[in-house]
Amino acid sequence: MTVIIQKVKNLSIGFKSKKGEEILILKNITTNIKKGETVGIVGESGSGKSTLALAMMGYVKHGLYTIGGECEFNSSNLLNMKSKDLEKIRGRKIAMIPQNAGQALTPNLKIGYQIDEALQLHSDLNEKEREKKISELLNKVRLPSPETIALRYPHELSGGQQQRVAVAMALAGTPDLLLLDEPTTGLDVTTQAHVLELLNFIAKDTGTSMVYVSHDLGAIAQVSDRIIVMYSGEIVLEGPSRDILKKPIHPYTHGLLKSIPKLSLAGLPESMPGSQPQPGTIQGGCSFFDRCNFSEEKCKNNSPELEFLKEFNTSVRCFNYEKLLKEGEINQNVNKIKNNSQDKEILNLSDISISYAKQKLLDQIFNRITDDNPTVKDININIKKGETIALVGESGSGKSTILKSIAGLLRTKDGLIRFEESRNLSSDLKERNPNDLRIIQLIFQNPDESLNPNHTVEEIIAQPLKLYFGLKGEELKKNIIDLLQKVRLGEFYISRYPRQLSGGEKQRVAVARAFAAKPDIILCDEVTSALDVSVQAAVLNLLQQLKEDFGTTYIFVSHDLAVVRAISDRVAVLYQGRLCEVGPSNDVYKFPSHPYTEVLLGAVLEPDPDIKPKLVAEDIVEEKPPEKGCSFQGRCSRIVGDICKKEIPPWQLTDSGNAIRCHIPIKELQKEQFK
């Protein structure tokens, strides 16, 4: 007999718009959470998934209110409970692990106190016992030396450690239900895999039910038994995890899974059109109608009900799910990207070192940088015209730092940036002439911040056109409309402001602005990270198309290794500002490779319950690169001896032209990794 822990019944939550209309964030949600199961709630930003998780704790954010329905826990409705009674449930029966532990831990209170607070509230232990319990909890979440960690302030810990503290805090009350709101989203790939592994262990160990909210199907696939897919405030699909991920019978999930790049597949996946509608804009009919490949006339005006299919133990909200049932297991098509690289070299980085150390007075006077152990060191990369080279690595690996130097935003300590074999570019923006500035353009991670909110799309795109080509009047306008069409935006976007655009549309405008300068090289800094999953593939496809049309060279920085796999011709792997491996993507993604690449690739989470991450190295955060020897010595599981600590490893070439910097001979690496 399965015990139901929480019942969500016909829950609707919304807000009043300025015009006084009631706008729904959650529409009539009904679902049950059973004892001991882990339920994944997946959806894009704005799908209502976080609102639903918070409602399960009886918490409704400022500005929102419950329109109808209930969240039943122990046969009482949390949504109309008095706050006195809620205090006894929150943290004790139901606990939350927040998305961003760095923001969710109170900055002025020590770690130990924050856990102790939960223990004081939710247990009868005395002070001595509590102290012991804090150590136990910190041990359980695998934090080193619990006694010293307890005395630290939140900002003194790394992101992964903060997240572990949040887990420990949630476990303090031994809750029956754990709600996890994107608990690994802000973390590095390797840390993310470790935290997920810990959560899986805890779920098994304590038998706690979990609700895991995320936009990341990869993470959801690793933890959940059952998946709920949300789209604009509705449950569109709910069922056993494996079925949902392998044979999704709702068009949205189907399209989404097809559009996510996979490590095992080189090439760009098909993209989904459009983006999720804003709350309150749907006029009746199916909310997915505009983007659906299976839609019919009746979908336009009638909205489908959530239908329970007993034989599959699945609920689906679609009139045409049978068509998808017939399709069976999902079959991902990818378009192999054309390798446009020519033999001509376009950019050469030689011996680049970059230092963030504060300059001493004397150095400031002589305008020089002295630092024996700079953040980025000895970067040698030769970039061919028309290729896409990706820089990958965890946060702190120096990938964005190198981009900034190429753009001239950050002075280098040593080294040369050479353009087209002949021209040296200064790393100081002020010393570059307008043409040097034009040939290299940047696209930033977050278009919300990189587009001026007070400028219309026209003004945004006009700036490079006016600046570099002096265009005016009709000609200027014609060029702007041309560019908008190139990024698949209609002419009518010209008078819009960034706030009137969706995330994907904003990023398209940013792309158009970069291409307006007719650059030779475009630096892409995490261009898809801020976008929703369903929009990501469309932007990647657009970038690839534009590259083929214009012969542009991309230097692509991303933490998402599957995205890099999809779009890049060549990959450079960085650790602590030092190159580990450079080579054609196909070879880097195949073993044998540098031990760090092995760690990175092993930690990638695929939206497939059958592919488990391999955790090779410890997840330690190093603050500074080591002074001597191999940059990866601190975390490497294949250290061969003192030589790794003393000497910088030599470059070794594989047969396929992959360069690896390691003391272990290639042949032996191969043996080790194929074991």
Partner 1 sequence: MLFLIIKRILLGLITLFIVSLITFVGTEILPGDACTTYLERQAFGEQLEACYRRLGLNIPAYERYVSWAVNAIQGDFGYSLSGEMPIKEVLGPRIKNSLVLASVAIFIGIPIALILGIVTALWRDKLPDVAISTVTIFAMTIPEFISATLLILIIAIWLEWLPGIVIVPTDVSFFELLPNIILPVIAIAMIMTAHMARMVRSSVIQVMASEYVQMAILKGVPYWKMVFKHVLPNALLPAINVVALTIAWLLGGVVVTEVVFNYPGLGRLVIESISNRDLPTVQALAIILASIYVSINLLADLMTLMLNPRLKTLQIRK
Structure tokens at 302: 């009638």
Strand pairing of 177-181 and 209-214?
parallel
d(CA 634, CA 570): 27
CB of residue 265 to partner 1, shortest distance in Å: 37
C-beta closer to partner 1: residue 19 or 82 = 82
Helix (H) or strand (E) holding 486: helix 473-486
Could you tell me which of 337, 343, 330 has the C-alpha nearest to residue 382?
Answer: 343
C-beta closer to partner 1: residue 101 or 189 = 101
Burial class (CB in 10 A: 0-12, 13-18, 19+), 120: middle
d(CA 622, CA 279): 43
Rounded to the nearest 5°, which phi and psi values hold at 98?
A: -80, 165
CB of residue 110 to partner 1, shortest distance in Å: 8
Asked if residue 223 lies in contact with residue 609, where contact means CB atoms within 8 angstroms, the answer is: no
Q: Which residues contact 52 (CB under 8 A, 6 or more apart)?
A: 8, 11, 26, 29, 41, 213, 230
CB of residue 185 to partner 1, shortest distance in Å: 13
C-beta closer to partner 1: residue 115 or 417 = 115
C-beta closer to partner 1: residue 156 or 491 = 156
C-beta closer to partner 1: residue 26 or 169 = 169
CB of residue 511 to partner 1, shortest distance in Å: 32
Strand pairing of 521-525 and 38-42?
unpaired
C-beta closer to partner 1: residue 98 or 251 = 98
List the 440-443 sheet strands across, edge first.
440-443, 521-525, 553-557, 388-392, 570-575, 578-584, 659-661, 651-653
Asked if residue 380 lies in contact with residue 351, where contact means CB atoms within 8 angstroms, the answer is: yes
Could you tell me which of 231, 241, 203, 228 has the C-alpha nearest to residue 31?
Answer: 228
CB of residue 100 to partner 1, shortest distance in Å: 6
C-beta closer to partner 1: residue 30 or 359 = 359
CB of residue 62 to partner 1, shortest distance in Å: 7
C-beta closer to partner 1: residue 91 or 269 = 91
Q: Interface with partner 1 by CB under 8 A: which residues?
A: 54, 57, 59, 62, 83, 86-92, 95-96, 98, 100, 103-109, 117-118, 121-122, 153, 155-156, 166, 169, 173
Structure tokens at 93: 């029966």
